[in-house]
Amino acid sequence: MSPAGLPRAALLAVAAAAAAALAVAAVAAWRRPRPLREVLFFPSRPCCLEALLAEAAAPGAPALPCPCPLPRAETSLSRLVRRLLSARRSLDLCIFAFSCPQLARAVQLLHRRGVRVRLVTDAQYMGLHGSQIGRLRHAGIQVRHDQHSGFMHHKFAIVDRRMLITGSLNWTTQAIQSNRENVLVVDDAACVKPFLDEFERIWEEYNPTNYVFPKVSN
């Protein structure tokens, strides 16, 4: 080995290590999933969701053509339903007003598929005409509600404890088809975690064992 051998070997090692670090960083950056940022605006034009719901109910089964005249288009509503149907383990819902039958079908479908669905809603709105809360309860979905004079006005969903769907949209056909509304879908923990915590706080606070019932005089 020449006297210059050691410095050359050291340089070679430094160059190799630096090149390897750069390569690892580049591969990590390339492989890192891009953060999810989807923004949906409403009103959403009417569309047929039968194929989407049928595929979610029986993946791979041939879908029967739906006789309804609505187009099978990609709309804000179909995108919202697709995000919900991506749930594999849990769906935590905090929905002020819930009267849209299509969204109720999607939630029921997830419940039947074994996804743990928990639903918090507003006591004053859950009994209104057209509310889907009774139907969802009847299907065996856990529902809790407030007992306050203020509204439980949130409208958010958390899919598999890692995707947040939130915005101005109540889950009503009126809101979906007629209102100017927004829904934001994100998956970064800095947004999802506080909403998860808020959900758990509300879920415990609205535990039926805490409900207060007025005394009835005989």
Report the catalytic residues.
153, 155, 160
Containing 175, the helix (H) or strand (E) segment is helix 173-178
CB atoms within 10 A of CB 69: 7
Half-sphere exposure of 121 (CA within 13 A, CB side): 22
Least distance to a copy of itself, CB of residue 153, Å: 4
**CA 123/CA 97 separation, integer angstroms:** 10
Binding site for a copy of itself (CB under 8 A): 2, 4, 7-8, 11-12, 14-15, 18-19, 21-22, 25, 35, 37, 39, 41, 43, 94, 96, 146, 148-156, 166-169, 174-175, 177-182, 184, 186, 188, 190-191, 194-195, 198, 202
Nearer of residues 14 and 128 to a copy of itself, judged by Cβ = 14
Q: For a copy of itself, give the closer residue by CB, 99 or 108.
A: 99
- What's the closest the beta carbon of residue 65 comes to a copy of itself, in angstroms? 31
| Type and span of the H or E element at 119 | strand 116-121
Say how far apart CA 24 and CA 156 lie, in whole Å: 38
Using the minimum distance from each CB to a copy of itself, give the nearer residue, 40 or 81: 40
Gap between the Cα atoms of 171 and 102, Å rounded: 10
CB of 67 to a copy of itself, least distance (A): 28
